[in-house]
Structures are given as structure tokens and as C-alpha cells.
């Protein structure tokens, strides 16, 4: 017999420590019920009747001024107003922008251009909009990338011209035009290709009225070399800014650098917590010390929801670094569309008081909404980490703004928004308290022009990088702000009534019978009414991991014996032998008795005998059997995951996926059986 009394290695080698009550509240809100969570936020975001009237009136004035100046706008605002992403041309533009980044060879890109450009009515945009960016981009996409002037007859024949270009092998010409058009758009989007070029633009008289936060464009690091390269770029930016008068400023007015932790380490995830504290914290601390010495600010930029926990661990570790004691230049971004936003601000406030300093907090609406929705659906989570309605995000933003402005000693609020109602709301809430607005470079100039002239501070988020690095950023911004529900999309649309743009989101949400979006079902109902989605686990939540660790340890401690069963009774079997964990060879997980030939024959005979009755069993009964099996798999998920880890050497993510795949197959075939074979 196998000795099963010997101690087994732990399933988890590191279980997170229990958090304090405020951090626990942040975790509890991650996948909270949306309706219940919003009820609490509605109370803290509500206005008096007098306040609501003042906010809506001021917001209406801002919208009217922006629309009056619309013909002067040459930036992204006008571009989005012209190329609505719900239009066919908007979709084509996004396809082509993505193609420039993702298609490695010209032949494939030419074929895509030939296919996509022929499918859209680009000519209708020519002459419809005055700003240089819109018409130059249109002609660039259609012709040569240069601003050209054609007569009415030429405009009318633009469709046939495109056909002739494609027929005569003109795709390389269009390809070149497309690249030039994207570069033209990029000039409006990006402050400069290098930090020196960005500083040169910041020195212009029209730009000196703003504060700046510089961001080195780029995606998440995939390797250690990527992380080293991004670290070098951040350090170079800090050193360059330190030597520049254009970045000069004191206290809150000082220039800053925004850094993404995912660019500084290839494994920004909860499972790598110990490694992050050992490797990433010193790297961020080094940047913070350099920023402090240069008189600059340093802000940890927004990340996806999965990365918030390790991000907070790193932020706390850097903030409490003795070398940075007393420095109030380390900031963080809070995304209001996350359900954790309000409790996160409470936790940050306690951290500020504990460290006796003020934390700059950049409050944004959120940049990864589509990704968060899709990931929650794919993973079968209990709910979404973000709100499903835009108005719910607006309510959350107001509730968070109140929290930030209510504690001057803990926070320096930085309100990033291009929404006139949000601007008016912040002005109403702030009074004489210190704060600043923030906007993206190339967007929102018209909204903030008068406010900055009147002395309200505004900081420009200024991306720095080359054309190839621009495209992912461009696509994200277009997707984020080009949707029909976007304020920017509707701001310059004269068909959108002003009163709709400046309506109180609190009153609007309260008037709605359903708090969550009726067309975005919970992840469990993704395939409803056909079948239920398989249940997942949020493996990025320390509380979930801790509970799973305890349950899997209990399962791992059980002595296991695997032997054949025929018709519900033990079958003939061989002598036992030890089963071992393939990942830990000296770990014995139980003993196995293989079926002998007699047991195999008995099993086959039993199957043949059961076939006549089973073949006449109604489809509904058989489908119900599959669904009961799926439910049992989910009920015994921890046991099955432990077997996958110990017997097959799977990691936790793969073990969970194995169980979910089996459940999905059972429910899928039950549904197909009813549909294909039922009466």
C-alpha cells in the first residue's frame, strides 16, 4: 500500500495576508451587484434642486460656446464628429488604422485597402467639414495624403476614381496616402515623437497656459528587455524635463510624467506579487526619486481591472519608501467606471493620513470598458468589474469627486474629463478648494479655453512617441470617444439637443426602472435562454485565492484511491501503484488500481445491455442528464481542480479552464440535442 500519511507540499506557496477593512471593502466591490452598489452611490452624488439648476445652466453655456467655436477646431473633436464610429466610414477607418499596425507586408495591406475603401462613401465627407484635419484626412485616405482642392465634378466622380486606382494597381498609392493621413492625425494626437520635440511644442505661447503630464507611448512590456527599454525612456524623459525651463513649475503646477507599471514589468499580476515587490518597487522608487530631485510629479497610470491589486501594492510600497518621506509628488489614477472606485478613494485617503502627506489623484471615467466586459463574460464571473451604463459611470465620477474634494489634507484632485456637465459639476463642488482639470492633447481645447483664461488650472496629458507607437493609442481613443454614447461624439453634433447633453445623470438613473444595462446580461446569462454560462472564479482577487487555497489544501490532504467501477460495484483490478504529481515527483497523491481484462469485458457487456433502453429514452430526459452532470461538475469544482493540479500538473488557470470546458460542452450538447432531436 502507498503511505498517504506523509505531508504533501502546499497547493499555494504564498497566500495573501488578510487585508484591513478598507482594502477589504475595495475587494468586495470588485464584482458587486451593480444595482445594489449604485444605490449607495446615488445618495452620495445627489444634488439639491438649486445645485442641479446651476450645474445644468453652466454646462449648457459651455456646450453653446464650444459649438460656436466648432468651425475653428482642427483637432480630434472635429474628426470624431465627422467620422462617427457607428458609420460605415468610421468602421473602415478603424480597420485601416489597425491594419497599419498589424499587417506586416504591403501586399496584404494593399488587398485590404482595395476591399475596404471601395465599401465606404468617403466622398460625402468632402467639403462637409471645414477643419483641416477632417478634410486632409479624407483626401489623404482617398488620394495622396496631401491637401488638394478639387472641383464639384471631381468630388462627384470620386467613387469611379477609386475604382480606377484599384484597377490600375493603385493600392500602393492609396497605402502611402493612408500612412500620411494617419501621420497627420497623429500630429494632432501626439505632443512629439521625442520628449525634446514635445517640450518644443509646449514652449509655444498658446501652450504655455497649460500644465503638462508627459506620457511615453507604448504597450505593456512582454519581456525583461521591453521593461528595461521603457524604464530608460521614462528616466530619459525625467532627466530632459529636469533640464528644461518649459517644464518649470512649483508644487501642484509642476510638470509630471505618467508611467504604466505594465510597461515596467512583464508580469504585473497578482500571482507574481512577491516578484513585483522585489523587482518592480525598486524600479518605480528610482523613477520617483529622480522625479522628486527634478521637482516633477510622477503618476501611476490606469491599468486593466485585473492589475489593480498588484498596482496598489506597488503604490503603497513606493509611497512608504523612507527615501521619499514627505514628498507629495507621487500620484495615481482612479477609474470611475470601476465599482471599486469609491472604496479605493477611501483606502487612498487612509493611506495619505497614515503617511502624513497629500496624494495627487487623477480621476478619469475609464479606458478599457469593452475589454472589461468581454473578459468578465469569457471568464464566467459573477458580475462585471465596471458599470454597464454610461450614466452609472457618471454617477460614480460625481461620488468620487465629492470624496476627493471633501479631504483637502489627503488629496490633490485632478479631474480628467472632456464632458461639459462634469466640468460644471466639479466647479460647483470645488468652490475655493485646490484642484485642476486635465484633458488629452488635441482634445477639449474649446471646452477649457475660457476656464483657463479665467485662472482655472488645466493640465494636458501629452503623449510622446513615434508613429508606430501612436496607432494603438489612436485606436483606443477613437473607440473610447467615438461611440454614439460619447459626450465628445455628440458635443459637436448640432442634432443632439443641449438639454440632453447636460442632463443630471443622478436624476436620469433614478428615473430608470432598471439600474444595469438591459442589453448587457450578467456573464452567467451570456448564452441565455439556450444555456447557462459555465461558472468561473476571479483568480485576480486575493480573497478568492485565499478561500480556494484553503479548500484545495483540504482536498489535497485526502487519501485517494482510483479503481474501476462496473455497474456501480467495484470491478476486478490489478495491484495498486503510486500516482505522483508530475510537477513535484516526490509528491504521492494516491494509489491506482488498473482495470483487468475481466472488468473491461463486464463494462462492455453492461453498456450493450443498457443501450436499447437508453436509445428509446426521450431527448429531454437525456439532455437533463447532461445538465445534471454539468451542475455536479460545478458543485465539485474544487475537487476536480485539485486533481488537475496534482495529477496533471496544471496551473490554477488551466485547471479551472478544464472544468469550465467540460461544463460548457455538457450544456452545449444538451441544448443542441433539444434543438436538433427534440419534437
Using one digit for the tens of pLDDT, what is the confidence trace for 28-51?
999 999 999 999 999 999 999 999
pTM, two decimals, is 0.87
Region of poorest pLDDT, from 10-24, 66-80, 434-448: 66-80
pLDDT of residue 474: 66
Highest mean pLDDT among 129-143, 456-470, 633-647: 633-647
The class of domain 542-677 in CATH terms is alpha beta
The residue that leads in pLDDT, 157 or 667, is: 667
H or E segment and range at residue 40: helix 34-45
**pLDDT band for position 11 (cuts 50, 70, 90):** low
Query: What CATH architecture applies to the domain 32-62+191-465+504-517?
Result: Alpha-Beta Barrel (3.20)
Domains 32-62+191-465+504-517 and 542-677 share a fold: no
| pLDDT per residue as tens digits for the range 581-619 | 998 888 899 999 999 999 999 999 999 999 999 999 999
List beta partners, residue 463: 215
pLDDT of residue 101: 60
> Which residue, among 566, 475, 551, 472, has the nearest Cα to 10 in the 3D structure?
551
Rounded Cα–Cα distance for residues 93 and 146 (Å): 18
Q: What is the mean pLDDT of residues 208-222?
A: 91
Rounded Cα–Cα distance for residues 632 and 624 (Å): 12
C-alpha cell read off for 629: 452532470
Domain definitions of the chain by residue range: 32-62+191-465+504-517, 76-185, 542-677
Region of poorest pLDDT, from 176-180, 357-361, 373-377, 508-512: 176-180
Rounded Cα–Cα distance for residues 144 and 139 (Å): 7
Q: Average pLDDT over the chain, rounded to whole?
A: 85
**Residue 159 in this model has a pLDDT that exceeds 90:** no
Mode of pairing for the β-strands spanning 584-592 and 577-581 = antiparallel
Q: Which residues neighbour 72 within 8 Å (Cβ) at sequence distance 6 or greater? A: 131, 446
| pLDDT per residue as tens digits for the range 546-555 | 999 999 999 9
Amino acid at each position: 500500500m502507498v503511505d498517504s500519511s506523509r505531508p504533501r507540499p502546499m497547493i499555494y506557496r504564498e497566500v495573501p495576508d488578510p487585508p484591513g477593512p478598507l482594502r477589504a471593502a475595495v475587494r468586495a466591490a470588485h464584482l458587486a451587484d451593480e444595482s445594489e452598489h449604485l444605490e449607495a452611490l446615488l445618495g452620495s452624488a445627489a444634488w439639491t434642486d438649486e445645485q442641479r439648476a446651476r450645474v445644468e445652466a453652466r454646462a449648457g453655456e459651455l456646450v453653446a460656446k464650444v459649438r460656436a467655436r466648432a468651425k475653428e477646431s482642427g483637432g480630434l473633436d472635429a474628426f470624431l464628429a465627422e467620422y462617427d464610429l457607428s458609420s460605415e466610414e468610421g468602421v473602415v477607418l478603424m480597420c485601416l488604422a489597425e491594419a497599419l499596425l498589424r499587417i506586416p507586408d504591403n501586399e496584404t495591406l494593399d488587398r485590404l485597402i482595395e476591399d475596404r475603401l471601395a465599401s465606404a462613401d468617403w466622398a460625402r465627407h468632402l467639403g462637409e467639414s471645414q477643419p483641416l484635419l477632417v478634410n486632409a484626412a479624407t483626401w489623404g485616405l482617398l488620394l495622396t495624403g496631401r491637401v488638394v482642392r478639387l472641383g464639384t465634378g471631381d468630388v462627384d466622380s470620386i467613387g469611379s476614381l477609386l475604382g480606377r486606382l484599384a484597377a490600375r494597381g493603385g493600392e500602393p498609392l492609396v497605402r502611402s496616402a493612408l500612412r500620411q493621413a494617419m501621420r497627420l492625425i497623429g500630429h494632432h494626437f501626439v505632443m512629439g515623437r521625442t520628449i525634446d520635440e514635445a517640450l518644443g511644442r509646449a514652449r509655444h505661447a498658446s501652450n504655455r497656459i497649460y500644465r503638462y503630464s508627459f506620457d511615453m507611448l507604448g504597450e505593456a512590456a512582454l519581456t525583461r528587455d521591453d521593461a528595461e527599454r521603457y524604464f530608460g525612456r521614462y528616466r530619459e524623459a525625467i532627466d530632459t524635463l529636469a533640464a528644461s525651463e518649459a517644464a518649470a513649475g512649483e508644487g501642484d503646477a509642476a510638470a509630471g510624467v505618467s508611467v504604466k507599471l505594465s510597461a515596467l514589468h512583464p508580469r504585473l499580476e497578482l500571482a507574481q506579487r512577491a516578484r513585483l515587490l522585489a523587482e518592480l518597487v525598486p524600479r518605480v522608487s528610482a523613477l520617483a526619486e529622480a522625479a522628486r530631485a527634478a521637482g516633477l510629479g510622477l503618476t501611476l497610470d490606469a491599468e486593466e481591472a485585473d492589475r489593480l491589486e498588484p498596482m496598489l501594492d506597488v503604490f503603497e510600497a513606493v509611497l512608504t519608501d523612507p527615501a521619499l518621506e514627505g514628498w507629495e509628488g507621487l500620484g495615481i489614477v482612479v477609474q470611475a467606471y470601476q465599482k471599486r472606485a469609491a472604496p479605493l478613494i477611501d483606502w487612498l485617503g487612509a493611506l495619505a493620513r497614515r503617511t502624513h502627506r497629500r496624494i495627487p489623484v487623477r480621476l478619469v471615467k475609464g479606458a478599457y470598458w469593452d475589454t472589461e466586459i468581454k473578459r468578465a463574460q469569457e471568464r464566467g464571473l459573477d458580475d462585471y468589474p465596471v458599470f454597464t451604463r454610461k450614466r452609472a459611470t457618471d454617477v460614480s465620477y460625481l461620488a468620487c469627486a465629492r470624496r476627493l474634494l471633501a479631504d483637502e489634507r489627503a488629496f490633490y484632485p485632478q479631474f480628467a474629463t472632456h464632458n461639459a456637465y462634469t466640468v460644471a459639476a466639479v466647479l460647483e463642488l470645488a468652490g475655493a478648494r485646490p484642484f485642476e482639470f486635465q484633458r488629452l492633447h488635441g482634445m477639449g481645447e474649446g471646452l477649457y479655453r475660457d476656464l483657463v483664461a479665467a485662472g482655472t488650472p488645466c493640465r494636458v496629458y501629452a503623449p510622446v512617441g513615434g508613429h508606430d507607437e501612436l496607432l494603438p493609442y489612436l485606436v483606443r481613443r477613437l473607440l473610447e470617444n467615438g461611440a454614439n454614447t460619447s459626450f465628445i461624439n455628440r458635443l459637436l453634433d448640432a442634432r443632439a439637443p443641449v438639454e440632453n447633453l447636460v442632463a443630471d445623470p443622478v436624476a436620469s438613473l433614478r428615473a430608470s426602472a432598471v439600474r444595469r444595462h438591459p442589453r448587457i446580461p450578467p456573464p452567467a446569462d451570456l448564452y441565455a435562454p439556450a444555456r447557462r454560462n459555465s461558472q468561473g472564479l476571479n483568480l485576480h482577487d486575493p480573497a478568492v485565492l485565499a478561500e480556494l487555497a484553503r479548500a484545495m489544501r483540504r482536498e489535497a490532504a485526502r487519501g485517494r484511491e482510483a479503481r474501476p467501477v462496473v455497474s456501480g460495484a467495484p470491478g476486478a483490478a490489478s495491484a495498486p501503484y503510486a500516482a505522483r504529481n508530475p510537477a513535484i515527483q516526490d509528491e504521492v497523491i494516491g494509489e491506482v488500481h488498473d482495470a483487468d481484462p475481466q472488468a473491461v469485458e463486464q463494462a462492455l457487456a453492461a453498456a450493450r445491455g443498457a443501450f436499447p433502453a437508453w436509445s428509446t429514452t426521450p431527448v429531454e430526459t437525456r439532455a437533463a442528464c447532461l445538465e445534471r452532470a454539468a451542475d455536479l461538475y460545478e458543485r465539485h469544482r474544487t475537487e476536480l481542480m485539485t486533481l488537475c493540479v496534482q495529477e496533471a500538473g496544471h496551473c490554477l488557470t488551466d485547471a479551472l479552464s478544464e472544468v469550465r470546458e467540460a461544463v460548457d460542452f455538457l450544456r452545449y450538447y444538451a441544448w443542441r440535442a433539444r434543438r436538433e432531436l427534440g419534437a
